[in-house]
C-alpha cells in the first residue's frame, strides 16, 4: 500500500508538471495571451490522471509470481484501455476510425520503445551485478 501511495503521488506530480510544461509551450509558441479556463482545467486534470495511470500501472512488474509476459500483457491492456478511455473522453483523440488507428499505432510504438529500453537497462544492471558477485 505504501508503494501504491508513493507511486500515486509521483504520477500525480509528474502529470501536473507535464500539464504546466504543455500550457507554457502553448502560451510561448502559439502567441496566445489568454487561455480557455475550462479547456485548461480539463487538459490539466487529464494529464494528472494520465500520469497517475502510468505510474501506478507499472506495479504489475513488481508481482513476483507472474511471468514477464503476463506482467507485460496485464500492463499493456490496463494502459491501453484506460488511456484511450481518458483520451477519447477528454477529446485528445477525435472519435474517428482514422484517428484511432493512428493513435493506437503511435501508442504501441512508444510502448514497445519504452518496454525495450527498460528491459535492456535492467538486463544490463543484472549482468553488472552478476559480474560483481562473481568477483567475490
| Percentage with pLDDT > 90 across the chain | 80
**pLDDT tens string 82-102:** 999 999 999 999 989 999 999
| Residue extents of the structural domains in the chain | 1-71
pLDDT at site 79: 95
Q: Which whole number is the average pLDDT over 41-57? A: 94
Q: What pLDDT is stored for residue 30 in this prediction?
A: 86
Mean pLDDT of the chain: 93
Q: How far apart are CA 10 and CA 108, in angstroms?
A: 24
The answer on pLDDT for 33 being more than 90 is no
* Grid cell for residue 94: 477525435
Buried b (16+ CB within 10 A) or exposed e, 29-62: eeeeeeeeeeeeeebbebbbbbbbbbbbbbebee
pLDDT band at 27 (very low <50, low <70, confident <90, very high): confident
Q: Which long-range contacts (CB under 8 A, 24 or more apart) does 111-118 make?
A: 111/76, 111/79, 111/80, 115/72
pLDDT at 66 over 80: yes
For 15-24, the pLDDT digits (tens) are 999 999 998 8
Amino acid at each position: 500500500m505504501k508503494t501504491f501511495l508513493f507511486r500515486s503521488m509521483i504520477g500525480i506530480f509528474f502529470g501536473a508538471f507535464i500539464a504546466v510544461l504543455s500550457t507554457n509551450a502553448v502560451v510561448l509558441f502559439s502567441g496566445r495571451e489568454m487561455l480557455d479556463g475550462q479547456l485548461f482545467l480539463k487538459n490539466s486534470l487529464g494529464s494528472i490522471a494520465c500520469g497517475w495511470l502510468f505510474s501506478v500501472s507499472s506495479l504489475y512488474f513488481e508481482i513476483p509470481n507472474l511471468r514477464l509476459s503476463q506482467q507485460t500483457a496485464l500492463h499493456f491492456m490496463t494502459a491501453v484501455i484506460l488511456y484511450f478511455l481518458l483520451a477519447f473522453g477528454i477529446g485528445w483523440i477525435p472519435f474517428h476510425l482514422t484517428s484511432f488507428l493512428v493513435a493506437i499505432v503511435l501508442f504501441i510504438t512508444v510502448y514497445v520503445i519504452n518496454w525495450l529500453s527498460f528491459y535492456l537497462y535492467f538486463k544490463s544492471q543484472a549482468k553488472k551485478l552478476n559480474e560483481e558477485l562473481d568477483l567475490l
